[in-house]
Each structure stands twice: as structure tokens, then as C-alpha cells.
């Protein structure tokens, strides 16, 4: 099955740093943070005041009123990014190909905004407060379903829910669907809209989020010894995946080749990663083996890099276990320093950033890294990005429950 080569022919992105792929990448490339004071909800009653919000996203201007009224924010993000990605790929959906185009867009939390709204409406108004379409609106599968229905994509359709590794899992599994011949094209990624008072308070009570004590853009600081935790972010990243021979046959623009995928479980704790980093390291070595490359071939790692004290140290250990001494030679950065942690969408957004790094031969920085943690002693591209020859990129995603998913994207050379 592995002999089939999978390539990326389209990308879409809505994120805290931009509402298109190019706008987002321009800001990431230049170290501009999308993290700011929360505006989409009232934060008066909660301690968390800072997040990575998607800005200037007005559903009534972007979608038919049926979607704008009924769909959850995470569903609308997915539809928006999928439309950009499909248009970018140059694929026109027709009666001849619609059953060959599948959707695999996952989520970590799903339609949490719709769920919270429904509970509050029921509490306030009783049965009159429950909308007719409340149940289908809050189901996690509606993220992929909405994309399928609106774009008339009738191939395999499913929604992966794997916490913060979701985006990588959705992309990696979609590639396998293509290799199995279940589809000819896969629309794959992750979407999240988690900036809700209940969610933020839950994360606060778990002591996982950082707090602003001044400039909100300084709160997310992965690998810095002063880091306090991650900043919640929202958005959606989508890739269009095809078999290489199909993409070449239609003369498609090919951004990158998806060469490696590794997926393991910590089998350890509901939130904390294994302190030894062993399972995460195994996912990395799986991905390297799947790609047919060695540690010395890696040009860059887009780290999970959440900014929590435990995650950053554990990921550093895992990279050293997987790469050995070569770990000190591979540049690493956390784009979450600029987007915040987009949870189920994080891996997909970071796959887009990784592919853009391949395109531009440019490594994005880890901003706010001024006081490196002695236990995080690798090259994290601090504060300023750099030009570099980029051929193979590893992108890490680790989630609550011990999910580890690693992708490797490589320069397409024909």
C-alpha cells in the first residue's frame, strides 16, 4: 500500500493570524502574533482574558443565511477553509467525480458553542428554548458533513476526534484512504471553535493556560523558562490530498508530498504526557521510517510546542530519543507562539505552515523566547525566522488522552 505516493494540491486556512493561507503565512513568517484580548465572548466572569481568535469572520456575509443561522462556528470555519482549499486545487466538482472526493475534517471539542448555547437556552426557557435542529447542529460529525453537503462531495465522509492530535490524524488517515482506493481526492484537516467561557474556565482550573500580566501577545512563550501554559486558539486548516499519478495526470500544482505518518498512544494519563517521551518518540521514528528518511535528512520540525512546562520538556526529550545526537542539528519552532493552541485544528494549521516553509525555504520563528529553559536546549529558532534549504519537515501533534500523531512533508521533486 505504501508504494502509492500522496501529494498536497490545495490548501485552505482560517486562523488567528489570517483568514487565508497567504495572509496567515505572511504573519507567521514575520513573527506577528494573532493573540489578543478576547472579544468574541464576555470575559468579565472568568479569569482567562486572552486567546487566539479568528478575526473579521462574519458568517452573515460569508454564507447563506441557513448556514449562518444554524451551523456551529467550528462548522463554518471548516466550510470556509475547505472552499479555499478546493478552489486552490483547481478541482471542479462534477457528477463524474463527486463520489470520488471524500472529507476527513476532525475536531477536538466539536460544536461546543452550540452545545453550551442549547443548555443555557433550555435552562432559561424550557422546551421552547430547544431549536429544531439543535441535535444535528451539535454533533461532531457535522463538521465534515456540512462540508460534504455544501460542496456536494459524496465520497467517504468522517470526523476524527482525537484531542490535539486530531488534525494530523485526519490528514494521515485520509492519505491511507487514498492508498486503499476508497477515494480519489480527500479534503482533510481539523477545525475548532473553543473560545467559550466554560471551556476556558475548565482549562484554567486544570492549570494549563497562561495568563496575561501585560501585553497579551507575550503570553504564549513555548520553551521559555517563564512560560505558564498555552493560549487557546481557534480556526481550521484543510489540505487537498491526491495520489501523485492522478495529480500529475490533471496537471495539478503540487505543493508537497506527504511522505510519513506515525501514530502511537502514551497509555499513561488523561492529560499529562509520558514524562520519558518514549511514545511520542516512537511516533516520530515511525514517521521517519514511513517516509524512508533518517534523522539527518530532516530540515525542520514544527513542534507541538504548547508552552506548558511539562509538554515542552517532554517533547524535547522525545525529539532527542527519536533523533539522537542529530536532534541538536535540526531547527525546531513552535508556531503556537503566534496562533495559540488551536486544539483539534492545530495539526492541520501547522501542516499548512510546514508546507509553506517548504515552498519558501524559510523557517518560522518561536516568538517570545528570551529566557530559554535549560531543559529545552535545542535550536528553537528564537524570535526571528531564517532562510534555509528545506526538504523534509516533521510536524508533531500530541493530545490529551495520550494521542501522538506525527506527519512528514517533503519537497516534491517530480
CB contact set of 304 (below 8 Å; sequence gap of 6+) = 164, 311, 315, 334, 336, 346, 396, 397, 398
Burial of 22 from C-beta contacts in 10 A (0-12 / 13-18 / 19+): exposed
| CA proximity to 86, closest of 156, 94, 259 | 94
Choice among 164, 194, 236, 376 that is catalytic: 164
* Residue-level length of the chain: 414
Which pTM does this prediction carry?
0.96
Residue 102 CB neighbours (<10 A): 24
pLDDT level of residue 15 (50, 70, 90 thresholds): very high
At 133, is the pLDDT very low, low, confident or very high (cuts 50, 70, 90)?
confident
**212-270 pLDDT, tens digit each:** 878 999 999 999 999 999 999 999 999 999 999 999 999 999 999 999 999 999 888 98
What mean pLDDT is reported for the chain?
95
Q: Give residue-wise pLDDT tens across range 61-117.
A: 998 888 888 889 999 999 999 999 999 999 999 999 999 999 999 999 999 988 888
- Residue 236 is a catalytic residue: no
Residues 316-348: pLDDT tens digits?
Answer: 999 999 999 999 999 999 999 999 999 999 999
Q: Domains of the chain, with CATH numbers?
A: 7-249 (3.40.47.10), 260-410 (3.40.47.10)
The Cα–Cα gap between 239 and 241 comes to: 6
324 vs 354: CA distance, rounded Å: 22
> Residue 283: which of 265, 297, 302, 303 has the closest Cα?
265
Asked if residues 261 and 406 have their Cβ atoms less than 8 Å apart, the reply is: yes
Please state which of the ranges 170-174, 205-209, 355-359 shows the lowest mean pLDDT.
205-209
Q: What is the pLDDT of residues 352-409, one digit of tens each?
A: 999 999 999 999 999 999 999 999 999 999 999 999 999 999 999 999 888 999 999 9
E-strand stretches of 73-147: 101-106
Which tens digits make up the pLDDT trace of 262-295?
999 988 898 788 889 999 999 999 999 999 999 9
269 is catalytic: no
pLDDT of amino acid 135: 84
Select which of 194, 236, 304, 392 is catalytic: 304
**pLDDT exceeds 70 at position 300:** yes
Q: Does residue 2 surpass a pLDDT of 70?
A: no
Sign of the dihedral defined by the CA atoms of residues 258, 264, 269, 273, in that order: negative
What pLDDT is attached to residue 9?
98
Q: What is the pLDDT of residue 233?
A: 98
- Residue of 263, 341, 392, 403 marked catalytic: 341
Q: How far is CA 219 from the centre of its chain?
A: 20
Q: Known catalytic residue: 164?
A: yes
pLDDT of 75 reads: 95
> Residue 267: its pLDDT value, please?
87
Q: What is the three-state SS of 23-49?
A: HHHHHHHCCCCCCEECCCCCCCCCCCC
**The three grid cell numbers given for residue 85, joined into one nine-digit string:** 482549499
Q: Does pLDDT of 1 surpass 60?
A: no
Amino acid at each position: 500500500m505504501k508504494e502509492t505516493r500522496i501529494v498536497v494540491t490545495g490548501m485552505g486556512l482560517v486562523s488567528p493570524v489570517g483568514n487565508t493561507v497567504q495572509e496567515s503565512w505572511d504573519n507567521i513568517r514575520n513573527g506577528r502574533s494573532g493573540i489578543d484580548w478576547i472579544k468574541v465572548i464576555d470575559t468579565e466572569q472568568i479569569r482567562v482574558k486572552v486567546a487566539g481568535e479568528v478575526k473579521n469572520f462574519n458568517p452573515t456575509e460569508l454564507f447563506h443565511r441557513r448556514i449562518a443561522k444554524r451551523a456551529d462556528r467550528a462548522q463554518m470555519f471548516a466550510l470556509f477553509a475547505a472552499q479555499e482549499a478546493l478552489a486552490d486545487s483547481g478541482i471542479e466538482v462534477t457528477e463524474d467525480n463527486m463520489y470520488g472526493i471524500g472529507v476527513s475534517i476532525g475536531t477536538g471539542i466539536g460544536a461546543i458553542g452550540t452545545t453550551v448555547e442549547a443548555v443555557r437556552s433550555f435552562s432559561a426557557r424550557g422546551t421552547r428554548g430547544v431549536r429544531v435542529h439543535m441535535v444535528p447542529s451539535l454533533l461532531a460529525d457535522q463538521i465534515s458533513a456540512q462540508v460534504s453537503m455544501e460542496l456536494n462531495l459524496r465520497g467517504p465522509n468522517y470526523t476524527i476526534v482525537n484531542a490535539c492530535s486530531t488534525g494530523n490524524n485526519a490528514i494521515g488517515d485520509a492519505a491511507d484512504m487514498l492508498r486503499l482506493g476508497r477515494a480519489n481526492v480527500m479534503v482533510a484537516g481539523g477545525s475548532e471553535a473553543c473560545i467559550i467561557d466554560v471551556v476556558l474556565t475548565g482549562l484554567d482550573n486544570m492549570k494549563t493556560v497562561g495568563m496575561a500580566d501585560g501585553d497579551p501577545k507575550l503570553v504564549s512563550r513555548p520553551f521559555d523558562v517563564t512560560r505558564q501554559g498555552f493560549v487557546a486558539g481557534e480556526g481550521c486548516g484543510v489540505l487537498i490530498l491526491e495520489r501523485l499519478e492522478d495529480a500529475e495526470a490533471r496537471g495539478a500544482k503540487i505543493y508537497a508530498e506527504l511522505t510519513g505518518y506515525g501514530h502511537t498512544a502514551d497509555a499513561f494519563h488523561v492529560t499529562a504526557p509520558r514524562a520519558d517521551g518514549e511514545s511520542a518518540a516512537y511516533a516520530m521514528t515511525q514517521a521517519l521510517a514511513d517516509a524512508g528518511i533518517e534523522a539527518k535528512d530532516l530540515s525542520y520540525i514544527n513542534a507541538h510546542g504548547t508552552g506548558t512546562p511539562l509538554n515542552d520538556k517532554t517533547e524535547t526529550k522525545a525529539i532527542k530519543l527519536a533523533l539522537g545526537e542529530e536532534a541538536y542539528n535540526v531547527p525546531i519552532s513552535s508556531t503556537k507562539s503566534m496562533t495559540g493552541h488551536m486544539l483539534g485544528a492545530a495539526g492541520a494549521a501547522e501542516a499548512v505552515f510546514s508546507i509553506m516553509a517548504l515552498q519558501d525555504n524559510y523557517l518560522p520563528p518561536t516568538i517570545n523566547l528570551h529566557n530559554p529553559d535549560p531543559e529545552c536546549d535545542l535550536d528553537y529558532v528564537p524570535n526571528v525566522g531564517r532562510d534555509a534549504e528545506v526538504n523534509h519537515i516533521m510536524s508533531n501533534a500530541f493530545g490529551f488522552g495520550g494521542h501522538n500523531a506525527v506527519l512528514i512533508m517533503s519537497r516534491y521533486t517530480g
